[in-house]
């Protein structure tokens, strides 16, 4: 199934995705879906809910922190999740992220991803739509 909001791109020794969304929340949701698509994640069953709260002065930093937090859970707990609820807001000079995910045990990962990077990372708004390209270390 092709999703026009997620595009996988090749990058020297790494891999990336270009992600679009009508809101910042949609960019984060599509970024996670793109990460799972790159990795070929197959999950089964329901484990539990996971709540993640993060803060950062820059929205790009928040996106990298979020994706790397998900990679941490995938590596250490062998779980992946589907976003059930997400909220991004700006308060006291910081972007705040709250995410609630439905987690499941990972059955298979086709390609390992080490981390989301800051390489040329910029979330831009063009004609009422957000767009960014994220490069991942393999």
CATH code where residue 33 lies: 3.55.10.10
Which pLDDT score is estimated for 1?
Answer: 47
- Does the pTM of the predicted model rise above 0.75? yes
pLDDT tens digits for 63-108? 999 999 999 999 999 999 999 999 999 999 999 999 999 999 999 9
By percentage, how much of the chain surpasses pLDDT 70?
A: 96
- The mean of the pLDDT values for the chain is 93
pLDDT tens digits for 17-72? 999 999 999 999 999 999 999 999 999 977 789 999 999 999 999 999 999 999 99
By percentage, how much of the chain surpasses pLDDT 90?
A: 84
Q: Is residue 1 part of a domain?
A: no
Could you list the residue range(s) of the whole structural domain that residue 83 is in? 6-137
Q: Is residue 108 part of a domain?
A: yes
Which pLDDT score is estimated for 7?
Answer: 80
Contact 63, 122 (CB under 8 A): no
How many separate domains does the chain show?
1
Query: pLDDT class for 135, splitting at 50, 70, 90?
Result: very high
In whole angstroms, what is the distance from residue 79 CA to residue 94 CA?
29
Task: Rounding to the nearest 10 degrees, give the CA dihedral for residues 73, 75, 81, 85.
Answer: 30
Nearest to 28 by CA among 79, 81, 73, 77: 81
């Amino acid at each position: 199934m092709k999703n026009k909001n997620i595009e996988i791109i090749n990058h020297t020794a790494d891999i990336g995705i270009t992600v679009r969304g009508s809101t910042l929340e949609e960019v984060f949701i599509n970024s996670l879906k793109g990460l799972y698509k790159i990795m070929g994640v197959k999950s089964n069953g329901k484990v539990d809910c996971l709540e993640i709260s993060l803060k950062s002065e820059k929205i790009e930093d928040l996106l990298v922190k979020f994706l790397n937090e998900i990679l941490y859970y995938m590596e250490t707990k062998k779980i992946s999740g589907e976003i059930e609820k997400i909220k991004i807001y700006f308060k006291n000079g910081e972007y705040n992220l709250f995410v609630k995910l439905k987690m499941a045990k990972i059955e298979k990962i086709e390609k390992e991803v080490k981390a989301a990077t800051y390489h040329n990372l910029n979330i831009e708004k063009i004609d009422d739509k957000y767009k960014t390209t994220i490069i991942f270390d393999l």
